[in-house]
Amino acid sequence: MAIVPRSQWGAPAVSPAAFIGSTRGVKVHYLGTEYSSRPHSECPAYVRAIRASHLANKAENYVDVAYNYLVCEHGDAFEGRGVHRRTGANGNQELNHQDYAVCALLGSKGLTKPTDAMLAGIRDAIEELREHGGAGSWIGGHRDGYATDCPGDALYDWVKRGAPRPGPAPKPPAAGGAPRPVVDLSKLVAAAKSDPPKKGTPVSYYGVKTVEAALIAEGLLARDVADGHYGTATVAAYAAWQRRCNYKGADADGIPGAESLKKLGARRGFTITP
């Protein structure tokens, strides 16, 4: 999962929408039309089509795609208007100033229930808006304060539960129970640098399985590719975790660093050694 900048999916790098300093929080939306599941490679084109339809809507007079972020079923959060830009999606000028807008690529027919990856991507977008856009802690649906079915019953049920990130919460060990797993950072880095070209060979470091289990719980790694090797799928999944921790560029290359690994361990029940 990742935040996909505008320039990467085919929009001008900066939205022309009006600046906004902060908001009460974030409203969650859905498409409200029929939408079919599709390969991830087709999602950028669909986001471009949404933007084109909004720009062609003379009645609403949109200056850009209406939402601050749009999230696909695979978990990528496509930057729409982005941070510090007034939304055009919440119903009227007062509501558009009050909250940001994140839209799930989810329909009223076809694909109607959010995937875990989508829910995690919505959380990524909300956290991006909080950290970099001054969004407050409130989370609601489009129907909160405006007469609409949006964001649909399935997604709104998740919103009403506080929009929790999917996956089981880590549980501390019971008194006298098994100790928390320990991951050796140096051995993990060595595996990350040597495992990808060595498919089919014995597992080089058992701690990779611990990290892969954590990445699965975060919705970043498919269970069927978690084999104890720090291969290309694990590299990509850990890079997504680094981006979730707001690392960028070379700092999000999929090779574990101490701080990002500590954060993952704190969430998923393991400790690290240098």
Q: What is the pLDDT of residues 127-145, one digit of tens each?
A: 999 999 999 999 999 999 8
- Whether the CB-CB separation of 135 and 22 falls below 8 Å is answered with yes
The token pair that represents 274 in the structure block? 């240098």
pLDDT digits (tens, 9 = 90+) for 213-233: 899 888 888 888 888 888 888
244's tokens: 């979730």
Mean pLDDT of the chain: 89
For tokens 């790694």, name the residue: 221
pLDDT band, residue 176 (cuts 50/70/90): low
Q: How confident is the model at residue 109 (pLDDT cuts 50, 70, 90)?
A: very high
Closest alpha carbon to 7 in 48, 56, 63, 50: 48
Structural domains of the chain, with CATH: 3-160 (3.40.80.10), 182-273 (no CATH)
Name the packing angle between helices 232-244 and 185-194 (round to 10°).
130
Cα 150–9–49 angle (5° rounding)?
50
